[in-house]
Chain A
Amino acid sequence: MADAHGAAAPHALPADLQHQFESLDQQQDAASFGMWVFIVTEILFFGGLFLAYTIYRWQFGAGFARGSVEMDIVAGTANTAILIGSSLTMAMAVHSAAKGKRRALLLFLALTIALGGAFLGVKAIEYTDHIRHHLLPGPGFRHAGPDARAVEMYFTLYFTMTGLHALHMIVGIGILSTLFVMAWRGRFTAEYHNPVEISGLYWHFVDIVWIFLFPLLYLIGRHAR
């Protein structure tokens, strides 16, 4: 309720309070809520691609399964584990920030950045592999088999969806690096660590997108073997 914020004493304003807010509570509430609204937007942004995936997989089920077996299941599983691990370290970072533990915060932020980097590294190796096997959609696409066209559609969606996801990872690493510098300079305290918290929300969201991408792209052809 807005009424709750009216009580803040106007003279003892904390340094981190921006002028448009009445209290730090209100400011943090607004920031967290803003991130949730942004995540809703992101869900619909990815939603268009998931819709296209649903329709074309329904249309070309066999071709999608053929495309899926071209995936490196070891790399995909490893990446899933890496990302879930990074969500854990991110949660630990938020926890450390809330407790005001600067060194632990720095450590967990660094770990999260490293795991995010590792994910992108594995993804880059996978991409290089696909391209070497002429699986990049477009005029250069080659696939031996009956459903080449459907397999190409699968790879179009694969590259767009994982590419967009990787772009979100890169942005996330950028945000976490900024947080790292801010934490290094001692900007966060137990009272003021909202940026860490809402960046955590974003990171978990990007992680969850992958949790959907992994089975949809890597696992659909496995049982057919």
Chain B
Amino acid sequence: MSAAEYLPPVEPEEPRDNYLNVAYGVRSWLLTRDHKRIALLYLASVTFFFFIGGLFALLIRLELLTPAGDMVQAETYNKFFTIHGIVMVFFFLIPSIPAVLGNFLIPMMIGAKDLAFPRLNLLSWYIYMLGGLFTIWAIVHGGVDTGWTFYTPYSTLSSNSHVIPAALGIFITGFSSILTGLNFIVSIHKMRAPGLTWFRLPLFVWALYATSLIFVLGTPVIAITILMVAVERTLHVGFFDPALGGDPVLFQHLFWFYSHPAVYIMILPAMGVISEIVPTFSRKHPFGYRFIAYASVAIAVLGFLVWGHHMFVSGQSVYAGLVFSVLSFLVAIPSAIKVFNWTATMHGGSISWKAPMLYAMGFIGLFTVGGLTGLFLASLGVDVHVHDTYFVIAHFHYIMVGGAVMGYLGGIHYWWPKISGKLYPEVLARFAAIIVFIGFNLTFFPQFILGYLGMPRRYHSYPEEFQVLNVFSTAGASILGVGYLLPLVYLAWSMRYGRNSGANPWGATGLEWKTTSPPPPENFEVTPVVDEEPYSYSAPGEVRVVG
């Protein structure tokens, strides 16, 4: 542990106010405008929703343990996967890294005292919780069965379940995303510390900036789409109802215009986390800093041009399919740039295998598998064969669970000393990271094979020849569940019993490590002045070749 000290050591006898001990009591949390406390409010809420979504995932896997639909009715199973999807996508994955780590870190990384609009930031959490309440109400009162995609005309004409409250929950939560994105964009533009130019920003900030662009440009479209579904369903008018002259495919266009970019809302922040972890634990300047930064923006922009690949078999013209297919292949370029640059950063580095680095390694491997199988699905011919099968399920879980959740857990571990001022138990954390990796692959790799063999998604029973692989998958899910429970336990434990971490346990660069842990309410005693390049990990005097 040769942590380089960037601060003159703080006198240990002098108790300093930090954001955690500056005030106590429920009011001081529920009315806080401190971005760090709001981040912790989000941390508690997304963790809650993660375990709700996880519970339904477990129920799905239990039903699929046997070929017969013997645990629940088909209708109940429909509700299981719908709730799992809605909760995980809208209430965990989308807010997870931006609202927790982004909220906590962006002001510190840009050397500011807070985000530009602290009250709006708190409001965004209340909006999120209100949306969550609507959704929970829908779950408790019998659930929704449309799938998380709310496809019309089923969602507007046929479904007897609680579509409106669930849709309203998503509509409302969307505004919390918009406010978060708006706050980040304005803060990154207007609140940077003196000397902190765009190309001195941490790559995490670049990734969150690109994410915020999607928040403000994409989320309003899903909001209006959901509003149209709600109007159609309540007033019996026909935006999307073929009987009234509407077009159900228009719904799919509008839905995927947001929901495909939303995939990048989920993965870009995780890429930002990896871009921080890899240089720190390789002790190297990231290879091709500018390329990684531009790649984030390129993914955000290209992400808006590929939505039609969700409709290859929805009666879209072959010509449109061709164009969307080519554009989808293009997204692979900036994604591959990132993967190559992370690996090149590690090349020749002095690598330490701490838990965050293990998660980063998991991310790089699993994201690569998820990304490459995405190319299968972007190819028109192959997609016809595997669409609506478990191949698709496996593909996007490799991106969203293998990618986004791994990145989230890696980030939580990496910045935990900053958030709590305590060290997590390293051996246990490495063990959990490995458990998660094994459990994940055991759960989802068999699903690639199942899908390729033709097992369709969204059914509660299946032919007997698929059982072995399904048993593997369910066994993997239980291991994965243990892997997710472990950090919950030991991170909570470390809050009280963990060793003090000091300001910078990893010897990392970046402004967030130059203040104390946990940080004071105003983040920095004096506004920092930045006069060096980011990630300057090389020893002083050494000649550095910037990749």
Contacts and interface: CB of A to CB of B under 8 A. Distances in A.
A152 interface: yes
Contacts of A18: 118
Nearest to B187: A30
Contacts of B362: none
B182 A29 contact: no
A67 to B, nearest CB: 12
Given A19-B113, A20-B113, A44 B221 contact: yes
A42 B220 contact: yes
Interface in B191-220: 191-196, 216-220
Contact of A20 (B115, B219, B236, B237): B115
Contacts of B118: 18, 20
A128 to B, nearest CB: 17
B186 A156 contact: no
Contacts of B57: none
Interface stretch (A49-57, A99-107, A175-183): A49-57
Contact of B245 (A21, A31, A40, A60): A60
Given A19-B113, A33-B189, A44-B220, A2 B196 contact: yes
Given A138-B237, A139-B236, A46 B224 contact: yes
A33 B182 CA distance: 9
A47 interface: yes
Contact of B228 (A29, A42, A48): A48
A30 B191 CA distance: 8
B244 A153 contact: yes
Nearest to B113: A20
B182 A52 contact: no
B112 interface: yes
Interface in B395-454: none
Contacts of B487: none
Given A46-B224, A48-B225, A138-B235, A38 B194 contact: no
A44 B219 CA distance: 9
B394 interface: no
B442 to A, nearest CB: 41
B538 interface: no
B185 interface: yes
Contact of A152 (B107, B183, B223, B238): B238
B238 A34 contact: no
Nearest to A140: B236
Interface string B223-241: 1110010010001111100
Interface centre among A18, A30, A48, A149 (most CB of B within 10 A): A48
A30 B183 CA distance: 9
Interface stretch (B6-14, B62-70, B161-169, B246-254): B246-254
B190 interface: yes
Contacts of B223: 45
B51 to A, nearest CB: 31
A61 to B, nearest CB: 13
A148 to B, nearest CB: 10
Interface residues of A, number: 41
B237 A29 contact: no
A29 B117 CA distance: 12
A139 B241 CA distance: 14
A156 to B, nearest CB: 4
Contacts of A160: 228, 231
Contacts of A156: 231, 237-239
A49 B227 CA distance: 10
A145 interface: no
Nearest to A37: B182
B193 to A, nearest CB: 6
A55 B191 contact: no
Interface in A163-209: none
B228 A38 contact: no
A146 interface: no
Nearest to B523: A20
A22 interface: yes
Contact of B191 (A20, A45, A46, A47): A20
Contacts of A46: 224
Contact of B192 (A2, A44, A52, A138): A2
A40 B228 contact: no
A3 B197 CA distance: 10
A149 B187 CA distance: 49
Interface in B516-533: 522, 527, 529
Contacts of B107: 20
A149 B186 contact: no
Contacts of B221: 44-45, 47-48
B116 interface: yes
Contacts of B194: 2-3, 5-6
Contacts of B190: 2, 26, 29-30, 33
B465 to A, nearest CB: 44
B129 interface: no
B114 interface: yes
A149 B185 contact: no
Given A41-B219, A48-B220, 9 more contacts: A2-B192, A34-B116, A38-B182, A40-B217, A42-B220, A52-B228, A55-B247, A56-B245, A152-B244
Q: Which 4 A-B pairs have the closest CB atoms?
A: A48-B224, A45-B220, A20-B114, A137-B237
